[in-house]
A and B are shown apart, each in its own frame.
Chain A
Amino acid sequence: MRLLRQRPAADPVGDRGLVQITGESLEKTFVVNRARHRAVAAVDVTIGSDRTIGVIGESGSGKSTLARMLSGLEQPDGGTLDYNGVPLGHHLASQTGRRDFRRAVQLVSQDVSSSFDPLRTLRDAVRTPAMVLCGLESAAADQRVDEVLETLQVSPAMADRRPHEVSGGGQRQRFAIARALVVRPRVLLCDEVVSALDVSVQGAVLNMLKDYVEQNRAGLFFVSHGIPATAFLVDELIVMQDGEIVERGSTDEIVDRPQHEYTRFLVAAARRSGRIEVVAS
């Protein structure tokens, strides 16, 4: 257990170098009730601290699985996944490599309800990455937590509550984002972070993410059902269907001149709902 308590040297500024994750021919298959379900098939994708990429598609199209693979939480069944030119598995196998990667790349999950340990305070959840990954002592980590929470417009006093004592998915989602931002990641992966929130809270959360990316020159990989929220944040769009990428390009190209039938369907649906005008250039 002594090894587990070792911390990296304190480095509150963090590495500002280019970070890149490259996946080639990524595949993932799940077995559910002895039936094989292909979640991701032959996907090539490169994300990094210099790019903002959005992924859209219907439920079950493989968006979340792709984000989890890129975050190192899910192992691909096939293909290669490299972090800065070295296989990601090599990084994750060692404590130092794992912490370097986790510090640079953070995923915010879509599941707000179970994303915090019910027996621990929200402060504990947000503070732990700062202590483990950045090597901050408890007091310094608390100070960092308070700074991030103020940036996200959450009162630091709320952090001393347990998850069930905080009302509203919006507040919990802000804490989930704070947990990722507290280590100042170079690449932020967001998996349906606004899907469960009402429209007014969605706007606030999206603006916070946009501010972080722009102010820190960080990369973003934003997974969402909806084109409007995604197009608001990213420069490039990927459209997924049945585990495959059916179209990719700049946000303007995809929104204005969709080529694939499925993309046209998604854009038309967004236009019918009237929300795409909100973000259209």
Chain B
Amino acid sequence: MTSTLPPPAAPTDTPAPPTAARRPRPRLGVGTWIAAALLGLVLLVAVIGPLIAPHDPTGVVGLPSRPPSGEHWGGTDSTGMDVFSRTLAGTRIDVAIAVFSTLLATALGIVVGLAVGMNESRRGPVGMAARGLSRLLDLLQAIPVVIIGLVVVSFFGTSTVTMILAIAVILMPIQARLTRTEVLRVRGDAYLDAARQAGQHELRVIVKHVLPNSVRPALLNVSVILGISIVLTAALGFLGVGLPPPTPEWGSMIAHGAGDAAVGKWWSAGFPAAALCITVASASVLTHRFTVNRVG
């Protein structure tokens, strides 16, 4: 054993390699600005909608099935309730259900994705449970989402909380699978072993290193599932398992007014349908704009 290898290299302090030049940030198009303005308007109406509604959104305020007029800007539905006021008031409920169900689905999805991804290749009961949970996520994604919603609402009844839970259950597997995929990529990286060698508890290794390195796709997907949850809320309402009347909710209003639309009284379903389209379309445009620029 001799020391005849070359002497250590001289101290080095090489400058950081020049980082790749950032791509010039593309200009925001007119469509993006319009979508942002419309979504901003929707969120504003969600906050102050019931306050600025010209009529009581849950009461009979006029003759049934009257067309739009100066007294009733959106006309009245078949029971005499003001369509415009109900559309404004319904914004809060639909947006609230969408936002809370998206947050719940994302939080649960990230936790489940971390748990499954970190444990599914382990031996023993923990690994078996993780693999079972992974197959359950596959199963949940294979079942049509509306059916899951119908089952959850049938079991727990119809209320705002139930709707949030039902939609969160539907959307959670999407976020969980995105997170799991990233965890599978990250979990073999040597810096996790280095963190364990630094004496850190396994839970701390997951929270400090695995989570930050695997959560980005799920966070980027939040805007996508926000749009899906608005449509799902309306879909469950349209199928008659949404919030019961007279609670103003777009899906229920569309279902209730669909029969009138068939005989030419378009306004009962037309105004909530327009509000739904504007919200989902503007959210989709903004989602596309930002995810393409961030990921693409």
Which A residues contact B (CB, under 8 angstroms)?
3-4, 71, 73, 95, 98-99, 102-103, 106-107, 109, 111, 114-119, 125, 128-129, 132-133, 153-155, 157-158, 161, 165-168, 171, 176, 179-180, 200-204, 206-208, 210, 231-235, 251-252, 278-281
Known pairs A153-B8, A231-B1; A165 contacts B198 (CB<8 A)? no
Q: Is the CB of A132 within 8 A of B7?
A: no
Interface residues of B in 192-210 (CB under 8 A from A): 193-201, 203-204, 209
What's the Cα separation between A117 and B210 when bound, in Å? 9
Known: A171-B14, A207-B3. 7 other contacts (CB 8 A): A103-B199, A106-B197, A118-B213, A128-B198, A207-B7, A208-B8, A252-B1
What's the Cα separation between A235 and B1 when bound, in Å? 7
What's the Cα separation between A98 and B201 when bound, in Å? 9
Q: How far is the CB of B186 from chain A (nearest CB, A)?
A: 9
What does the 1/0 interface line of B3-14 toward A look like (CB < 8 Å)? 111111111111
What's the Cα separation between A257 and B43 when bound, in Å? 81
Chain B residues within an 8 Å CB radius of A252: 1
Q: Is the CB of B5 within 8 A of A279?
A: yes
Known pairs A73-B196, A114-B191; A200 contacts B213 (CB<8 A)? no
Chain A residues within an 8 Å CB radius of B7: 203-204, 207
Q: How far is the CB of B91 from chain A (nearest CB, A)?
A: 38
What's the Cα separation between A206 and B201 when bound, in Å? 32
Query: Which listed residue (A98, A119, A153) contacts B199, Cβ 8 A?
Result: A98
Q: Is the CB of B201 within 8 A of A4?
A: yes
What's the Cα separation between A34 and B186 when bound, in Å? 23
Chain A residues within an 8 Å CB radius of B10: 153
Q: How far is the CB of B10 from chain A (nearest CB, A)?
A: 7
Q: Report the tally of A-B residue pairs with Cβ distances under 8 A.
A: 120
What's the Cα separation between A114 and B191 when bound, in Å? 6
The answer to the question of B16 belonging to the interface, with a C-beta cut-off of 8 Å to chain A, is yes
Interface centre among B5, B201, B204, B212 (most CB of A within 10 A): B5
Q: Is the CB of A117 within 8 A of B198?
A: no
Q: Is the CB of B6 within 8 A of A115?
A: no
Q: Is the CB of A207 within 8 A of B5?
A: yes
Chain A residues within an 8 Å CB radius of B200: 4, 128, 132
Q: Is the CB of A279 within 8 A of B2?
A: yes
Q: Is the CB of B5 within 8 A of A234?
A: no
The answer to the question of B17 belonging to the interface, with a C-beta cut-off of 8 Å to chain A, is yes
What's the Cα separation between A116 and B212 when bound, in Å? 13
What's the Cα separation between A179 and B189 when bound, in Å? 16
What's the Cα separation between A200 and B59 when bound, in Å? 85
The answer to the question of B69 belonging to the interface, with a C-beta cut-off of 8 Å to chain A, is no
What's the Cα separation between A109 and B10 when bound, in Å? 24
Name the residue on A nearest B186 (C-beta): A114
Q: Name the interface size band of chain B.
A: 35 or more
Known pairs A115-B191, A116-B191, A232-B2; A171 contacts B213 (CB<8 A)? no
Interface centre among A102, A117, A206 (most CB of B within 10 A): A117
Q: Is the CB of B6 within 8 A of A204?
A: yes
Q: How far is the CB of A131 from chain B (nearest CB, A)?
A: 8
Query: Which listed residue (B2, B3, B8, B195) contacts A204, Cβ 8 A?
Result: B8
Q: How far is the CB of B225 from chain A (nearest CB, A)?
A: 24
Known pairs A73-B193, A115-B190; A133 contacts B198 (CB<8 A)? yes
Query: Which listed residue (B1, B9, B190) contacts A281, Cβ 8 A?
Result: B1
Query: Which listed residue (B5, B9, B194, B201) contacts A153, Cβ 8 A?
Result: B9
Q: Is the CB of A125 within 8 A of B191?
A: yes
Q: How far is the CB of B144 from chain A (nearest CB, A)?
A: 33
Q: Is the CB of B191 within 8 A of A129?
A: no
* Chief secondary structure at chain A's binding surface: helix
Q: How far is the CB of A248 from chain B (nearest CB, A)?
A: 16
Q: Is the CB of B5 within 8 A of A206?
A: yes
List the 7 shortest-distance A-B pairs measured between CB atoms, nearest first: A155-B13, A203-B6, A115-B190, A129-B198, A114-B189, A132-B199, A204-B8
What's the Cα separation between A119 and B201 when bound, in Å? 19
Q: Is the CB of A234 within 8 A of B1?
A: yes
Q: How far is the CB of B120 from chain A (nearest CB, A)?
A: 13
Name the residue on B nearest A234 (C-beta): B1
What's the Cα separation between A276 and B2 when bound, in Å? 12
Known pairs A117-B209, A232-B5, A281-B2; A158 contacts B13 (CB<8 A)? yes
What's the Cα separation between A102 and B198 when bound, in Å? 7
Name the residue on B nearest A277 (C-beta): B4
Q: Is the CB of A154 within 8 A of B16?
A: no
Chain A residues within an 8 Å CB radius of B190: 109, 111, 114-115
Name the residue on B nearest A150 (C-beta): B11
Q: Is the CB of A278 within 8 A of B4?
A: yes
Name the residue on B nearest A118 (C-beta): B213
17 contacts between A and B (CB under 8 A): A4-B204, A98-B199, A99-B199, A106-B197, A109-B194, A115-B189, A117-B213, A118-B213, A125-B194, A129-B198, A165-B17, A204-B7, A207-B3, A210-B3, A233-B1, A252-B1, A279-B1
What's the Cα separation between A97 and B208 when bound, in Å? 22
Interface residues of B in 9-64 (CB under 8 A from A): 9-14, 16-17, 19
Q: Is the CB of A203 within 8 A of B193?
A: no
What's the Cα separation between A135 and B12 when bound, in Å? 30
